Amino acid sequence: MSTSWHNEYLSALATRDKTEHQNKTLYEAYTTLASRKSQPSTQSHAKDEPATSPAPPLSPSNRVMPWSRTGAGSPTPASAPAPTLAARWQEELSEAQRRRAELESGLGAAKTELERERTRAVVAERRVTELAIENAGLTVKLRDRVEELRAKAKLVQDVHDESVALNLQLNISEERNAKLEKENKELVDRWMARMGKEADALNDASKFS
pLDDT at site 29? 66
Mean pLDDT, the chain, integer: 76
Q: Is the dihedral of CA 116, 119, 124, 125 positive or negative?
A: positive
**pLDDT bucket at 203, cuts 50 / 70 / 90:** confident
Say which residue, 112 or 11, is predicted with more confidence.
112
Q: What is the pTM of this model?
A: 0.36
- The per-residue pLDDT for range 2-26, each reduced to its tens digit, is 456 666 667 777 777 676 666 666 6
Mean pLDDT of 92-121: 88
Burial class (CB in 10 A: 0-12, 13-18, 19+), 5: middle
- Highest-scoring range by mean pLDDT, 54-68, 69-83, 103-117: 103-117
Q: Amino acid letter at 50?
A: P
pLDDT at site 31? 67
> b/e for 28-65, b at 16 or more Cβ within 10 A?
eebeeeeeeeeeeeeeeeeeeeeeeeeeeeeeeeeeee
Mean pLDDT of 80-85: 62
pLDDT at site 197? 87
pLDDT at site 88? 84
- The per-residue pLDDT for range 164-175, each reduced to its tens digit, is 999 999 999 999
**Residue 92 — left, alpha, or beta (φ > 0 → left; ψ -120 to 50 → alpha)?**
alpha
Q: Which of 7-16, 44-53, 121-130, 169-178 has the lowest mean pLDDT?
A: 44-53
Query: Who's near 78: CB < 8 A, 6+ residues apart?
Result: 66
pLDDT at site 21? 66
Q: How far apart are CA 174 and CA 171, in angstroms?
A: 5
**pLDDT bucket at 42, cuts 50 / 70 / 90:** very low
pLDDT at site 53? 43
Q: Is the dihedral of CA 143, 149, 153, 156 positive or negative?
A: positive
pLDDT at site 83? 61
Mean pLDDT of 75-95: 69
